[in-house]
Chains A and B, each alone.
Chain A
């Protein structure tokens, strides 16, 4: 009895109990999910998903009319073959570059096979993921630039930069991102003739910039003012003191909140689907509407977002460890 009591109160026993509980909860969640989907008569078709990541395209290009090849133009993975029939009418054929077997001057006969075979192409989910990645990376970089400038302006003692920065930050933080995206698409995009990709990236950049500015401002203010005074007393000018003394120290402190902001940005990039950018979420919706495999598709979409955000977290942790040297 004594032994049993000791065991019950030992730290190790409690920890293993806690682990067991964790495993039970996870198993329970999985069983619960499967059980509920059974109840709604959902047919899981996970085998449908891989082809939205990569799929095999069947290629068969046959000549429609007798003609003479006048040009073979390569454009990346595809090659355009231009030929003239006996009425001097142009004909175009698109062939995968590695399958090209004709050259300028060759005679083509009706029914002749120009290319035949299969090739791998990225599916909608993969192209969506890549677009999400492109938009996020560009917006993060631009957002940091905007945020740095705004953060420094916000701390300026002269009224023009300071109040401009405050106005911009309040404007962005006080309106929904979705509305900002529409404004960038319909208004800014029209005025400056931006592609919807650029409109989306700019909307996200200015959105992130406002939050990054506040993070940077707080980071700079958290550095003891003696650091700035010491730098200035050595004859450094304000930009030098910022560049070499204040910002490196502030950067270390703002890395965690900054990383949080970047992760939010990756997730918020799902909103630019509304301006016809087929990023990851929009890709998922499009596959869903055509296949009704909403469950699998959005579980996959979620997993892909997780891969992006988790990689970013790991990168930040790595950076944090590297900067910890002077503590």
Chain B
């Protein structure tokens, strides 16, 4: 489903930052991969490269056999198949919850308004807040906003979902409700890449855990292996810190 082959990404702002160095990763259909690592290790950059919000300098990314860094690829078509959930929710502030989950269906998937509303309402049921359909994002709690953001991405019926620290901007009492939605998705067979430090979630639903540091993948393994017998010292140090 996702095939990342030896990608590099360097930022040149004030100084040169090698955000990704020779990263390769293969994700099967239906697989749930959790990506973790210290701050600045390139987790967000990797995820953003997967739907071309960042362009890569070298290497190849294939999404469902479509090559991303190819000028002939219709990137909007690929993105419609890849849902993304951001740390800061990024709901469209001028639209109601229902409009948030409908707009892309109507404009990108070319569905009728009725159909988009129907699908949108179903997804709002699924994430547990159908009663907020007419509210504006500013009237919702963080946890509710993030669930709407998930519903908005799901409304496109994507093949892959990317989560970039979806719970790290939330108050502790709201983390559970968002993780529950994500667990449901994982069990339904969605292909998912989640950047998160929620190790309970990783242990429960991840098929594999990817540990990154300084732009490189340090270690990949099953939760079992990563938590119980990590091979690399850096992984051990990191786990000791967050567990």
Q: Which residue from B76, B86, B108 sits with its C-beta under 8 Å from A226?
A: B86
Interfacial residues of chain B within 43-80, with CB under 8 A of chain A in the complex: 51, 53, 76-77, 79-80
Least distance between A95 CB and chain B CB atoms (Å): 58
Chain B residues near A235: list those with CB within 8 A: 76-77, 79-81, 104, 108, 156
Say whether A170 faces chain B, with CB atoms less than 8 Å apart.
no
Interface SS of chain A? helix
Say whether B88 faces chain A, with CB atoms less than 8 Å apart.
yes
Say whether B16 faces chain A, with CB atoms less than 8 Å apart.
no
Least distance between B140 CB and chain A CB atoms (Å): 12
Chain B residues near A233: list those with CB within 8 A: 51, 53, 79, 82-84, 153
Say whether B243 faces chain A, with CB atoms less than 8 Å apart.
no
- Complex Cα distance, B108 from A233, in Å, reads 11
Contact B76–A236 (Cβ < 8 Å): yes
Q: How large is the interface on B (under 10, 10 to 19, 20 to 34, 35 or more residues)?
A: 20 to 34
Q: Which residue from A234, A248, A252, A326 sits with its C-beta under 8 Å from B108?
A: A234
A252 in contact with B82 given A234-B153, A244-B107 (CB within 8 Å): no
Contact B136–A326 (Cβ < 8 Å): yes
Chain A residues near B94: list those with CB within 8 A: 248-249, 252, 326
How many residue-residue contacts, CB under 8 A, span A and B? 73
Say whether A100 faces chain B, with CB atoms less than 8 Å apart.
no
Contact B93–A227 (Cβ < 8 Å): yes
Least distance between B116 CB and chain A CB atoms (Å): 12
Q: Which residue from A232, A237, A245 sits with its C-beta under 8 Å from B92?
A: A245
Contact B88–A326 (Cβ < 8 Å): no
Chain B residues near A12: list those with CB within 8 A: none
Say whether A325 faces chain B, with CB atoms less than 8 Å apart.
yes
B48, closest chain A residue (CB): A229
- Complex Cα distance, B139 from A326, in Å, reads 9
What 1/0 mask marks residues of chain A from 211 to 253 whose CB sits below 8 Å from any chain B CB?
A: 0000000000000101101111111110010001100110010
What 1/0 mask marks residues of chain B from 92 to 110 whose CB sits below 8 Å from any chain A CB?
A: 1111100000011001100
Binding site for A on B (CB under 8 A): 51, 53, 76-77, 79-84, 86, 88, 90-96, 103-104, 107-108, 136-138, 149, 152-153, 156
13 further A-B pairs in the complex, CB-CB below 8 A; given A236-B108, A326-B93: A229-B90, A230-B90, A231-B92, A231-B104, A233-B51, A234-B103, A234-B108, A235-B79, A235-B80, A236-B76, A244-B107, A245-B92, A326-B137
Binding site for B on A (CB under 8 A): 224, 226-227, 229-237, 240, 244-245, 248-249, 252, 325-327
